[in-house]
Amino acid sequence: MALPTVILPGYLAGATPYRPLEKTLNEMGLPTMVVPLRRWDWLPTVGGRSVTTIIQKLHETVQVMRHRHGDSQVNLVGHSAGGWIARIYLGDMPYGVHGSDRPTPPTWNAQRYVHTLVCLGTPHLSQERWTRRNLDFVNDHYPGAFYQHIRYICVAGKSVQGSRRWYGPSFAYQSYQLTYGQGDCWGDGITPIAAAHLDGADNLTIEQVNHSPRPGQLWYGSESILPYWVKYLLHTISS
């Protein structure tokens, strides 16, 4: 049987938009649970503040799935910011870049619990000064596919090219510029391809995939898109 999977939602998102993906993965034989976040659970993180409260909820969900299914490890799926937050969770260095985490910064060292990390549309880079407080911590301490015993899968979407028009830059252009420092590139409408990939990871780019789960458009959790990345979870078998 495949290892259990835990889904961490993206920034400011609750669990509800991920329920269809959770249901589909369970029906495919992958025991799956979304971290039970509500939108207001993100309020303590606004403005680039500590994501400790989110990681604690992730940790609680991982432990529930480990004990429920009798497995020593799980697979993580992080959408958008959920991917780089999961990288902090894996780490063995104290997460103390924020005053609220001192004088005893938390350390989860969850790399021992995780077999595979799948990042969906995750911006692993940022030019925005508030977000960089967290992302610089991640990339300085755990660059690229850092833990060799963990398989990193980084999935980017290619659906929207950032552009400048006579009346100003498109939303995608502004988002890509803020993330990668270059607006006229391709991405999923929020995250540019170059920022969604990590050195040393299995990096995938999927055509026509948009960033968020919205009616009437393809996103990373659409049933027709799942075969591109779910195979990496199906191939991890519990001992």
**pLDDT score at 62:** 98
**pLDDT score at 102:** 67
Average pLDDT in the chain: 93
pLDDT in tens, 64-98: 999 999 989 999 999 999 999 999 999 999 998 87
**pLDDT score at 71:** 84
pLDDT in tens, 110-163: 999 999 999 999 999 999 888 899 999 999 999 999 999 999 999 999 999 999
**pLDDT score at 112:** 96
pLDDT in tens, 194-220: 999 999 999 999 999 999 999 889 999
Say if residue 190's pLDDT is above 50: yes
**pLDDT score at 54:** 97
pLDDT in tens, 97-113: 877 666 678 889 999 99
Instruction: Tell me what the mean pLDDT of segment 232-236 comes to.
Output: 81
Single out the residue of 31, 41, 84, 39 nearest to residue 62, CA to CA.
31
Say if residue 238's pLDDT is above 50: no
Yes or no: say if 73 and 114 are a contact pair by the CB < 8 Å rule.
yes
**pLDDT score at 82:** 98
**pLDDT score at 18:** 97
**pLDDT score at 88:** 97
